[in-house]
Chains A and B, each alone.
Chain A
C-alpha cells in the first residue's frame, strides 16, 4: 500500500474514532486519546506505550501555566481584590460606556502581548473584564466572545508573537520588524470587536450595579488590589527587559509569586486550611484544560508517528498559491486546534518559503499567518483559549452558541489576515526595523 493510501486510511479511522468516542464518552480529552490509540492500531503500531507517555509531555509547560495562573486568580478573587477593581472601574468609567469597553480591551491585550500567550490574558484579567462587561449590559455569550477574541488578539499583538517567532526561526529570519505590522491590524480588529459586541448593550445604573456586587471587603482598597497585578507586570517586564540580570523564573513560578503576594495583601488573615481548599477547588476547576493539554499531546505524537500529520501538511502546502488563499481560513485554524504552536512550525515555515518564492514580503505573510493560526484557538480538538474563556467567565450556554457569538469578529479577523496574505505589498509600509 502506498504511504498516501495507508495514511489516508489511518486518518479516516481516526476521524471515525473521534466522532464515535465523543458521542460515547462525552469527554473530549478521553476522545482524543482513544482517537490516538485507534490511529496507532490501524497504522500497525500496536499499543504505543512509549508514544503515549512521551506525548503527555508535549504541552506540559502549558498545563503548568494553567494550574498556577488559576491558583493566582482564584486567590485574587478570594481576598476580594477582583471585586475591588471591578468596583473601581465602574465608579470611574460607568458613564462612558465605549471608553470603558476600550479600556477593558486594552487591559486584555497587555498580558498576552507581553507573554505571547492568549490564555494568560484570559486567565489573568478575563474574569475581571467579564464581570464588568456583564454589568455594562452585555449578554453572556457576548461576554465570552469578547474575552476570547481579545485573548487571541493579545497573543498576536507585539512584542511577543510566538507563531511569528517560530516561523521566523524556521525560516532563518530575525524576529524584527513585526511590531507595527502586528499592532495595527490587532488594534483595528479589537476596535471592531468592541463596537460589534458592545452595540446595543444598556448598562444598569451605577447604584444598581454597585448594589448588585458583593460588598467590598474591609480594608480592601483598589491600590491594595493592584499590588499583585503590578508584581506580575514587573516580573514580566523584568524577564524581557532585564533578562541578563534576573534569573529565568518562568510563568508558573511568576504566578505562584503573585499568588503569594495576594495572600500577603489579604486584609483578612485566612487560615491555611482555607487556602488549601482554594487550591483544591482550582485544580478541579482547571482540570479539563490540563487534561486537554495532556491528551492533545498524545494525539499529536501519534499523528506524527503514523504519518497522518505529514499527509495533512503536504496536502496543504503543495496546493497552488490560489488554493492556499482559498483554504487558509479553514486549514490554519484547524491546524492550530490540533497542533497548538506546532502549527507554525509544521505549516507556517514551509508556507513562508512558498510565499518567499513568489516575492511576497515575508514579514507581512508571517504576521498574517500568525493571525490565521490564532483563530484556531477555539476549534477542536484542543479549543484552548475558547474553553479557557468560557470556563473563566462561567458561561453556561453550549459551546456552539459561544462560537456563534464569536463568528462575526472571528471572520473579520480572518478576512484582515487573508487580505494581508493576498496583497502583502499593501501592508509592507508597516514593516519597520
Chain B
C-alpha cells in the first residue's frame, strides 16, 4: 500500500505546483494559452503525472538535462522531440517558437522571468532568480563587484539609466526617444515634438477685394449722415456733465477728503417766511414743566424729604414715583454730583415726542365751585316740612299706608294688623275697624270730594268702602247715599255671558261686608280676583282703579262706585302692573308696569304715550296736579321726574337714597313733592312747574326728614301730603306714623 500513498503524496505536490502555476501573473497566462505545444503538454501532464511517482527527487535534474539537450538540437528536429522523462515515459518536447515576421505572436519577446508576484528577495540565497517557461533556471544577472569590474572595462551603453527594471531585475534601459518624451512631460510641454499648437489660419474668406461689386445698390444715406441716436446720447452726457451729475474721475481717497472738507451751506431759510395757519388737527408737543423750588441744589429746608418720605420713595417702584428725583441739599456748588438719569430722561422725552399718542384735552382752569348750580337757599323756598310734629302709635306691625282726608283734618292709616285707623292731627286715634284678620291693609285712600266722607281701603282681594262716624250727620248721610247708590245697578245689571252662553264670572263681586263691619261704618265690599296692591281715585270720586299685580289678565280694574260695577280695561299688559292713576284733568289713564308707564286715552280707547323712566322696577308714581309732569319712584333707588311734553325719558334723575324708593307723592296745592325710602328717610323737594312751555321745571332738594327706624330692611312705606298745608304724613315699618310740619 505504500506506493499509492506516495503517489497520492506526489500528486498533492504536483497539484500544488499546478495551482502555483495557475496563480502566476497574467503575463504568463497569455503565453500558456497561445502556445500550442504547451497546450498539448499541459493536456498530457495529468496523464504523465501518474507515471513519475517513484523518484520525484530526480525530476528537477532530469528536466534540466533534457531541456539543455533539447535546446541544443531543436533546429534539426521537425517540431518536437520525444524525450524520456524521469519515469521513463516518453514526453514530447516542443521547440521554441521563433516568432518570425509572419508569426501571429506579436509580443513574443525574449523570455521573461515567470516567478510572478513573488518578490525577488526570495531568491537572494540562490544563484538564479526564477524559472522560464520550460522550467529552466534563470540565472541572476551579474551585479556588484562583478559588474563594477566589468564597468571598468566597458563604457556606458547607450540608453543606460542606472535604474533597475523591477520586473526583470535587469538595469532599465530607455531609448533616446523615451527619454525625450519624459523630459517633455516633466516640463509640461506637448508630449509630441512635432505637434503645432498654432497652425496657420486657413483663410475661408478671401481678403482680396474684388473688382466687380456683388450688389449694385447705391450707398445708403445714413452712412454719410451723423447718427441722431448718438447725438442724443452725447447731448445727454453733456447735459449730465454740465449739471454736475457726471464728475471727472478722482481716486476715492481724494473724493473722500473733499467731501469731508466741504462746508455746510448756511443760508436764511426763513428769508421769505409767511405765517401759516396751523392745521386744526395739529397738536404741538407740550413743553416740559419748568423746574420748581424742590429741584434746586440748595432748596429751602422744608422741601427736603424727611426720613420716612425718603424711605417711602425708595421703596416705591420707579415707575410709580410721583417725582423721579428726591430733593437734596448741597452746601456748595462743587459738591453737586452729576445727575445720573440725565441721558435717560432726555431719551424718554424724545420717545414721548415721537411715540406718545397726542390728544387735545381741554383743561378747565376754573374754580370748581362755579360748576355748582346757584340753588335758591332753603329759606326762600319755604314753607316745607322740617320737623316731626306728632307721632301716631297704635298699629301693631308695619303701617303700610297712610292718607289725609280731603278736608285735611283726619288721617287714615292701615297696617299689617289688618286694621284701618283714623287719627286726628294731634295724634289721637279716633276710629278703628279691623277689616281682616290675616290680610294686611294695603292701601287706604279717601274719596277726593269734600261733600262726602268715604274711605276706600284694601285688604287682600277685598275693597272696602267705609263712612267713619266722625263727621256731621248731613255729611254722613250724603256719604252713605253715595255708597249705596249702586245697589240697584249691581243686581239689575245684565250679567255678562261668554260666547257659549255660560255665565261669565264678573270681575268683582259687590256686597255688604257683614253686620259687624257695617256697624262700625264699613258699608260696602267688592271682591276682585287677586289681591290688590294699589288703589287710586278718579278726581270726581265716581271711579277708582285697583291694581293687583298677581291677577294676570285682570290685574288692573276700574270700578264705578255709583253703579257697583267693575271693568277690566286691558286684555293684557306687557309686564306686571305696578300702579295706576287717573289723569287729574283729562280722560287719561296711566298704568305703570315694571319698566314703563303707559298712558291710555279712555275715551278713544287707545294708547297715547309710553314713558320709559329707565328704572329697573318701578315702585310707584304720581302725577302732578297740573297733569304735565310725573314723578316715578323705583326700587333701584331712583326718583325720576318726567316732563310729559318734553320726552318719554326722564327730565331729571335723582339718586339721593341709599335704599329703594317706596312711595312718591306730589303736594296738591304747593310746589312740593316727597319720596319715602327704605333707608328710613323722607326727602322733600321743591318742584316748581311753570305754565310757560319754554321753561323747564325747577327742582331743588330742600330737606331730608329722618326719624323712622328701619325694621327688617324696611323704612318708610308710604307718604301723603296735607291737601293745603305743607305738612306730610309718613307710614313707617316701625309701626308708627309721623306727621311732619
> Do chains A and B stick together as partners?
no
Taking beta carbons and an 8 Å cutoff, which residues of B are in contact with A? none
